[in-house]
Amino acid sequence: MYGTGPTGPADAGGPAPVDAPTPAGTSAHPVMTTRIALSGPTGGRARLDVAGGALSCRRLPDEDGTVRVALVATQALLLAGDHVRIELDVAPGLVLEVVEITGTVAYDMQGGRASWDVDVQVGAGALLVWDALPFVVATGADVTRSARVELAEGAVAVLRETFVLGRTGEAGGLLTTSTHARLAGRPLLVETLTVSPESRRDPALLGGARCLDTVTVLGARYEDDAPAGADVLQLDRPGTLVRTFGTDAHRGDLAVTVTRARAAVSPSVVDVGSESTAVGGPAGSGRTLDGGGRTTGTP
Amino acid sequence: MPALAATRLRTVTATEAGAAVVARHRWLDRRDLAPVADAWAARTPSPAVRDAARRLGRGYLRLALALWPGDLAGAFAPGSAPPRPLVAGAIGAVAGLDALQVALLVGYDDVQTIASAALKLTPLDPATTTRWVLDLHPAVAQMAASVAHLTDPDDIPSAGAPMTDAWAQAHAGTTRRLFHG
């Protein structure tokens, strides 16, 4: 069996410094790895290999060439000592959509810590869509999250992350979350954020927001409409952050952004959901190779 | 205002100072600065902030070419706009500054910029803003000490300030702009 309950000795030490290496599992708290690998010839029958850790995988019916996998928690998450790891590997030319059934609450860890690491590889011309449900940081939680995304040339990932500070009426705990994305071997997005009551109070960090909702498009530019009040940040190389600062984790504001981004980067994929009227951006927007302003010389 | 400067020192200014330190190191090693520019750009998601850094970098470069023509000639492509931290690192290298001095310079410059901007916006006594800058020195020194050892672009700090990015975009888009960048 994987994982342990909330018992066991708490890890020593204070809050992790920013950019701290992710704590590895220990013998008492092994890393619980969920692996999803999609392979096969482009246009052929895709082969899906899954191995479940704390999250098990259920294959859903394909939709228009998109292989869909649901992540289902097999145990209470996220508790002190839990080290969740999710590995996704999408072979060239294929489309994988990861669906979450429930959000995740990082509970009071009573001095302990937990980690949640995602490692993504997207092959040339492949697309990964992951519209994650809210990640709630309860008071007393101390979590380090990381996402490493390696995109081959022409690969695209559309990822959503919603961080919520505290359950209703709670101040919330500490989350340090980092994203390291590379496109064709060069840095695309490197960002470390701290979600905590202190960063919520800081006008320059979260500016009072309890909820930070981000759609990250990597390998393509999102140039379609964004919800009113959303910030749209075009990265230097092909990629876009669409971000809202909210007071609660109401779903929906950026859900349409995920749908539109996906439509824009994969014209062959037709969404059958309620937002099927959404139109994508200009065809092929961003599927172009890197045109990011290289402005440096060599000494 | 001092709180804003302190937050910037822990986030965006640490990124800029780290990039300047690594740029100085690679310059002295006669190595390509492009990976430093890539690392800096990936850690700077706001186009408005990147544009401002490149405008400032171009200005710094023009000045530096006049002051140290022999050292910097041909270092950057003609007409290019390298971001300010790259030029600050190169200037530090040719001016004989060590890594800690380059990081202190970047940190002090950011704090002083905020203090100067505050004077333009609010009827403060300049002595007040000077006191802010003095009081922030320990925070500047702490930030500089945390990045002075860096030599690898991948190790440049990446702590973001999401609301600061949002402000930068909003300011760039407004018709009532007060400042460049």
Closest CA to A226 of A218, A236, A234: A234
Full-model pTM: 0.86
CB contacts under 8 A, B 58-77 vs A, are 74-77
The answer to whether the beta carbons of residues A138 and A169 sit under 8 Å apart is: no
**pLDDT tens, position by position, B33-62:** 999 999 999 999 999 999 999 999 999 999
Looking at residue A183, its pLDDT comes to: 98
Q: How much is the pLDDT for A250?
A: 62
Report the DSSP pairing between strands A174-183 and A47-51. Answer: unpaired
Non-local CB neighbours of B39 within 8 Å, separated by 6+ positions: A187, A190, B19, B22, B153, B154, B156
Contact A204 B77 (CB under 8 A): no
The residue of chain A nearest to residue B165, with distances taken between CA atoms, is A233
For residue A99, pLDDT over 80 is answered with yes
User: Which helix (H) or strand (E) is A35 found in, with range?
Assistant: strand A31-39
Question: For residue A253, what pLDDT is reported?
Answer: 78
Q: Kindly state whether B24 is in contact with chain A, defined as any CB-CB distance less than 8 angstroms.
A: no
> Is B42 within 8 Å of A231 when comparing Cβ atoms?
no
Q: Is A198 on the interface with B (CB under 8 A)?
A: no
| B53: closest chain A residue by CA | A295
Q: What is the per-residue pLDDT across A163-180, written as a single tens digit (0 to 9) for each?
A: 999 998 899 999 999 999
Instruction: Read off the pLDDT of residues B57-107 as tens digits, 9 standing for 90 and up.
Output: 999 999 999 999 888 877 888 878 899 999 999 999 999 999 999 999 999
Give the pLDDT band of residue A196 (cuts 50, 70, 90): very high
Cβ contacts (< 8 Å) between A206 and chain B: which residues?
162-163
- The answer, for B169 touching chain A at a CB cutoff of 8 Å, is yes
Give the residue from chain A lying closest to B32, CA to CA: A298
- CB-based contact B80 A295, cutoff 8 Å: yes
| Residue A116, φ and ψ in degrees, nearest 5 | -145, 105
Q: Which of A245, A299, A117 is nearest to B75 (CA)?
A: A299
Q: Does A186 touch chain B (CB under 8 A)?
A: yes
